[in-house]
Amino acid sequence: MNSKMCAGCQKDLTGKIDYYRSKTFCGSEECKKEIDSRRSASNRKKKEKRKQSGNSYRGVNSNVRRKIVMRDEGKCALCDSEVDVQVHHIIPSSEDGKDNFRNLICLCDKDHAKVHRNLEKHTDRLSEIADRRESARRKR
């Protein structure tokens, strides 16, 4: 039987396992808050580290982000989920990837994490999807 630990309260979970922000959790609001708190602390540390190394990236402009989400109809390019959709750089900004319509695509939280674990595997497919979606948007 599957046994995992809640990322919020550290309780052992058995049976059906729920996820929040790609973390296993028991379903309580307190655990959601704890997971969010840990994520915020981690993001602050990463941001500070980038700032110290001279790589401070602010993220995608909110107007561009909104247009990408509208173009992709708020759905993940890989699974069509509308839950926890994020905008992803196909060519990472750290590798001079631009914040343009052909380099940005919507991914759900789970697929976004999966893509980042193996960028090489997904880059070509995501580029094709983004190109198709952008071409369709321009024809409208």
State whether 71 and 124 are in the same domain: yes
State whether 78 and 133 are in the same domain: yes
State whether 18 and 73 are in the same domain: no
Residue by residue, pLDDT tens for the chain (140 residues) are 557 899 999 998 888 788 888 888 888 999 999 999 999 999 888 888 877 777 656 678 889 999 999 999 999 999 999 999 999 999 888 788 888 999 999 999 999 999 989 888 998 999 999 888 888 878 77
- Of 53, 73, 95, the domain-final residue: 53
Compute the distance between CA of residue 126 and CA of residue 49 in angstroms, rounded to an integer.
29
**Total domains present in the chain:** 2
State whether 90 and 127 are in the same domain: yes
State whether 86 and 39 are in the same domain: no
Domain that holds residue 41: 3-53
DSSP category for residue 25: E
State whether 35 and 76 are in the same domain: no
DSSP string for residues in 58-104: --S-HHHHHHHHHHTTT--TTT---SSEEEEESS-GGGT--SSTTTE
3-class SS of residue 105: strand
State whether 37 and 72 are in the same domain: no
State whether 72 and 113 are in the same domain: yes
State whether 67 and 133 are in the same domain: yes
State whether 30 and 71 are in the same domain: no
pTM, entire model: 0.59
